[in-house]
Structure 1
Amino acid sequence: MKSTLPLPRSSAPTLAVDSAPATAHPNLWLPRVVFAALLAFCLTPWASPPVALALGLVLAQTVGNPFPALTKKYTAKLLQFSVIGLGFGMNAHAAVQAGRQGILFTVASIAGTLVLGYVAGRWLKLGRPVTHLISCGTAICGGSAIAAVGPVLRARDEEMSVALATVFVLNALALFAFPPIGHALSLSQQQFGLWCAIAIHDTSSVVGAAAAYGKEALEVATTIKLARALWIIPVALGTAVVFKQQDVKVKLPWFILGFIGAMLLNTYVPATHTVGLWLVQAARLGLTVTLFFIGAGLSWQAVKSVGPKPFTLGVLLWVVISCVSLYVIMLG
């Protein structure tokens, strides 16, 4: 589903929540050795995106992440290049068809989530900035939407951190929960890909869950999610109008253009197919490492910082959009 506003650096959870080691370990070599060993495992065929995320979470909660600044810095960039690489494995004609099927879902779910978020935020007596940030993160693409809208709102650092931590925790849950639910309900590849793109916040978790389900699900989910991410632009501009902010600048996410370019090359330039296979494989490894970095960035302190009310809002919005979209998909 990675800022100055100029748009966020990616569609992944931009880990504004500092990933300080969960426990201060007197022997720095131990966290580094464990980090290196787990990272090396993530580059093997036995690792998968959910496994990589789980390993990162275990690292964060035990010896801690010894390189929080580096993982935070490279998470966004690695996801961007991974998404572009995945484009070399996709067909433009199939992507257009998938995009047509998802456009109505996208518009309805974004509008509905923002309205529901506003009403629920007032009911919970949350501040408007936090409410709007969590609503935008749920409606569009998680951390990227929050990173884009936050400067428009002139949100404080703590408001940004709370919103990012909320959607990130739910992203981790979705990555593990969605594939088993899809199999239990016998969802087709097309159905599951559409559901992922609508109901999971960040591109990293969308791609990870869809990749675990199947190749067609991955193609559908990636295409629709990236099209969905473009809604950052009108939503950010709309936020500036509603909250009466001025001098707002929003830029197109460059990595989405790169994904489109890679997909067009794969479709219309057969000479790129051989190198494209290698690039797709590298992109999948990159995605696995990205999710390891994301997991390593979620310390217990970050989870506790969310608080009950913002987390309640995030869970409410996520459950509603997941259940409603699933019902409509299965009905259709």
Structure 2
Amino acid sequence: MTERIRKIIFLTAALVCLLPFMSPPLALLLGLILAQFIKHPYQEMNHKATNFLLKVSVVGLGFGMNVFAAMKAGAEGFLFTVASISGVLILGYVLGKLFKIERKTSYLISAGTAICGGSAIAALSPVMKAEEKEISVSLGIVFVLNAIALFLFPMLGHALGLTQSQFGMWCAIAIHDTSSVVGAASKYGEEALQIATTVKLARALWIIPLAFGASFLFKTEKSKVQMPYFIGLFVLAMLANTYLPFVNAWSTFIVSIAKAGLTLTLFLIGTGLSFKVVRVVGFKPFLQGLILWVAISGASLWAILSLG
């Protein structure tokens, strides 16, 4: 297959993801299928494009949210956030020792599970001076489990009869990446989407103390911590939607574009998840990631149902 044909197929599939009938899970599935049969024609650009598009889409979603509702959701999720992050990091440390997994790999997997998946791994890697293989293994585990969560969580939510509020909170705590959190929540409903996005972005701020902790634990020289600046833009978007009537008039249009951007983001994530990525993971690190994910999913679901 020539380079030109691969580019045509890829761009056509990307355009299909922007059609009204495409949902985030379908876009991810299309990307996954494409990744197994053709070599990505824009592999070097894929990560940067995904990262940029996700941030822009999340900021766009802020134009559909009310700041008072967001503050309420963030306050309710604070205790869940502290307890779940602490619990995952402790369990991750124990599992890493038990399975004899390399320290940096184990920490990246734990941090990615505890906070926000690939974003946490990308932010912590330079601080820890992690090697390419350690980063690839950690990202591979997160991407595989994210793909599963995007399909599994909405089905489980409906089967368990979770309310919009309960499902949004569960998504934000138990799914790794912001992209999959927003994708799963948007499939469940608008209230779930608002709660999930707000709580997940609040969790992302914990990258900062974890990065400083990593530099101490691994005794690396002080490196610049990658601040999640787009969260500030998300807050500004909420404020504009709440207090500026002329912005509020355009909010529906902006949010619809943001959702389309999110759908395209998940397609791009899928195209980067070939069997080659899965093979590099290894059994023990994957088992650590799986146990951590099941633990945080089960514990947070139990807590949410008990309190709700």
1:257-296 map, 5 Å? 257-296=232-271
User: In the alignment, which residue of structure 2 is the partner of 1:121?
Assistant: 96
SS at 1:246's partner residue? coil
CA offsets 1:148-177 (integer angstroms, 9 cap, x no match): 111121111111111011111100110010
Asked if 1 retains the 8 angstrom alpha-carbon contact of 2:168 and 2:196, the reply is yes
Given that 2:127 and 2:223 are in contact with CA atoms closer than 8 Å, whether structure 1 keeps it comes out as: yes
**Hey, what's the Cα distance between the residues in 1 that align with 2:267 and 2:203?**
24
For 1:201, the equivalent position in structure 2 comes to 176
2:149 to 138, 162, 174: 174
Once the two structures are TM-superposed, the CA of residue 273 in structure 1 deviates from its matched residue by 1.3
In 1, Cα distance between equivalents of 2:71 and 2:248: 20
Match of 1:63 in 2: 38
Runs of 4+ with >6 A deviation: none
TM-score, normalized by length of structure 2? 0.98
Code of the aligned partner of 2:11: A
Amino acid corresponding to residue 252 of structure 1 in structure 2: M
- Deviates further, 146-155 or 166-175: 146-155
CA apart distance, 1:62: 1.3
Following the alignment from structure 2 to structure 1, what is the Cα–Cα distance between the partners of residues 4 and 221?
A: 49
1:193, 1:220 within 8 Å by CA — same for their partners in 2?
A: yes
2:296 matched residue in structure 1: 321
In structure 2, what is the equivalent of residue 235 of structure 1? 210
Cα displacement string for residues 155-207 of structure 1 (whole angstroms, at most 9, x for unaligned residues): 11111111011111100110010000000000000000000000000000000
- Alpha-carbon distance in 1 for matches of 2:47, 2:228: 19
Offset from partner CA, 1:67-105 (integer Å, 9 cap, x none) = 212322211000110000000000000001101110000
Picking from 200, 208, 218, the partner of 2:193 is 218
2:76 maps to: 101
User: Structure 1 residues 248 and 70, CA, compared in 2 at 3 Å: closer, same or farther?
Assistant: closer
Aligned counterpart, 1:149:
124
Percent identity for Structure 1 against Structure 2: 56
Cα deviation, 1:89-133, whole Å, max 9, x if unaligned, reads 000000011011100000000011000000001100101000000
Q: Distance in 2 between matches of 1:60 and 1:220?
A: 32
For residue 74 of structure 1, what is the aligned residue in structure 2? Answer: 49
* Contact 1:30-1:63 at 8 Å conserved across structures: no
The question of whether the paired residues in 1 share the 8 Å contact of 2:123 and 2:226 is answered with: no
C-alpha deviation, 1:30, in angstroms: 3.1
Determine if contact 2:30/2:267 at 8 Å carries over to the other structure.
yes
Q: Match of 1:38, as an amino acid?
A: A
266-275 or 137-146, larger mean C-alpha shift: 266-275
Aligned amino acid, residue 185 of structure 1: L
- In the alignment, the residues of structure 2 paired with residue 287 and residue 307 of structure 1 have an alpha-carbon distance, to the nearest angstrom, of 30
Asked if 1 retains the 8 angstrom alpha-carbon contact of 2:112 and 2:176, the reply is: yes
Name the SS for the 1:43 alignment partner. Answer: coil
What is the RMSD of the two structures over their aligned residues, measured on CA atoms?
1.0
Query: How far 1:306 moved relative to its partner?
Result: 0.3
Worse-superposed segment, 131-140 or 240-249 = 240-249
How far has the Cα of 1:272 moved from its partner? Answer: 0.6
Tell whether the 8 Å contact from 1:210 to 1:221 is kept in structure 2 after alignment. Answer: yes
In the TM superposition, residue 245 of structure 1 has moved relative to its aligned partner by 2.3
The answer on 1:84 being equivalent to 2:50 is no
Count of residue pairs the alignment pairs up = 307
| Structure holding more helix per residue | 2
Q: Which amino acid aligns with 2:237?
A: A
Partner of 1:33: 8
Task: Give the drift of 1:251.
Answer: 4.4
Instruction: Report the Cα distance in structure 1 between the residues aligned to 2:219 and 2:88, rounded to whole angstroms.
Output: 21
Structure 2 gap segments, 5+ residues each? none
Query: What letter is aligned with 1:210?
Result: A
Q: Which residue of 1 aligns with 2:140?
A: 165
Q: 1:298: which partner in 2?
A: 273
TM-score (norm 1): 0.91
Contact 1:89-1:280 at 8 Å conserved across structures: yes
Distance (Å, rounded) in 2 between the aligned partners of 1:241 and 1:32 = 45
> What are the ranges of 5 or more consecutive residues in structure 1 without an aligned counterpart?
1-25
1:320 is displaced (CA, Å) by 0.4
